[in-house]
Amino acid sequence: MTTAANADLFSNLRPGQELGCSAWVAVNQGMIDRFAEATLDLDPMHVDSEWARNKGPFGHTIAFGFLTTSLLTHLLHLAMHTDHAREPAVEGYFMNYGFDRMRLSAPVPVDSRIRGRFHVLESRRDSKDRIVVKFGSTVEIEGSEKPALVAEWLAIWVPPESR
């Protein structure tokens, strides 16, 4: 696909367009522990099962909110059936640009499953001819009516000649 075609693809995204729902992803204690190690955050509510059971507010460990947030990229690729790790879906590259709004509305219990739902809220060109896409993003917890995360997530597509 040419750079022009890639630009057309992303500039043609329309508000309200559904991008999909991911498969369920298990969040287990090993994942939570590795995240704690990587971020140097050893909060017992997340990494100490005994402490969480006896002293924590939930009776078990929970995922870090930032772990849930960090899974957005993976969940979006699952929802869109792309494998960015093997080959980028487009020429140029996408990168995270931030959030206009994000709420962590419910904790993710250890050994639960989550999935992401995504739709386009906005797609526009900026002053550098990059395409900024705002995704409506919801991370659901299996068996819970309340989502773990609701966000307006921004990504930016940078054409290859902009490097």
pLDDT value, residue 75: 96
Please state the rounded mean pLDDT for residues 86-91: 55
- Residue 40, by phi and psi: left (phi above 0), alpha (psi -120 to 50) or beta? left
pLDDT value, residue 95: 87
pLDDT in tens, 89-142: 556 777 899 999 999 999 999 999 999 999 999 998 899 888 899 999 999 999
- Residue 113, by phi and psi: left (phi above 0), alpha (psi -120 to 50) or beta? beta
> To the nearest whole percent, how much of the chain has pLDDT over 90?
69
CATH architecture classification, 3-162: Roll (3.10)
Mean pLDDT, the chain, as a whole number? 88
Residue in 102, 82, 92, 83 with CA at minimum distance from that of residue 154: 102
pLDDT value, residue 6: 43
pLDDT value, residue 1: 38
